[in-house]
Amino acid sequence: MTQEKRCIPSHVAIIMDGNGRWAQKRNQLRAIGHQAGLKAVRKIVAYAASLKIKVLTLYAFSSENWKRPPNEVSALISLFIYALNREIKKLHKNNVRLNIIGDISYFSEHLQNLIVCAQNLTKNNSGLVLNIAANYGGRWDILQSAKKMAMQFKNGEITLDEMTEEHFSSAMSMSEFPEVDLVIRTGGEYRISNFLLWQIAYSELYFTDTLWPDFDQNLFDEAINIFNTRERRFGGIHNKELSC
């Protein structure tokens, strides 16, 4: 399938799984695997931008990741800080808009400030939107939207009849972006792991055994090609105009 004829999804979300196992297979610390994973992120972000994908969402740190050993959590947070310090200028130069989704209040004040500065620096960029899910969970996202709607009802701002799916969606993370077309999970696991539970209701799912540090442009192409073979009906009948 030629790139000119295939349909490029507007919004791709990736569960980047397998950094630790990649390192263990090489008798290295899991932290080395996360560093290798960052290199893969650089390549995939650049390739997504070249494909004119509008939004790329990466699952970097889930709300459940706090349960990992303290030294690994510390390494992940340190890598996040490193990436914000080292990568943001390059992202800005390449017209990428960075957006962090998740409950960042759990992070240190220093990291929160870095996040705010990085988002402010790139907020007017018109190229690829790069969402990084950090301390994010799909259940948390739904709950925080429900709380916002409950408060609006309590304050008399909305009625029960105005509590629609559309209104609920408007309080969710990434409400300003198109819904996810394609979800990719690396690492050989076949589950969603509390990722974007609301936003992927009609997404196509693609799973690969490849560990995240080894995921490259060719495998990204393969996922998009598989996406092009799917018939997307969104609960209705076949409609070519809805296939992408």
Catalytic (active site) residue 65: yes
**Distance between CA atoms of residues 228 and 225, nearest Å:** 5
How far, in Å, are 11, 197, 224 from residue 183 at the CA level? 9, 11, 10
Task: Give the Cα separation of 24 and 18 in Å (integer).
Answer: 10
Q: How far is CA 81 from CA 17, 42, 45, in A?
A: 20, 15, 18
Q: Which residues contact 163 (CB under 8 A, 6 or more apart)?
A: 149, 153
Residue pair 56/131 in contact by the 8 Å Cβ criterion? yes
| Catalytic residue check, 141 | no
Place of tokens 């990085």: 118
* Residue of 19, 27, 65, 225 with catalytic role: 65
Distance CA 100, CA 61 (A): 11
Task: Single out the catalytic residue among 17, 131, 141, 181.
Answer: 17
* Alpha carbons 130 and 11: distance in angstroms, whole number: 10
**8 A C-beta contact, residue 30 and residue 74:** no
Question: Would you name the residues annotated as active-site residues?
Answer: 17, 65
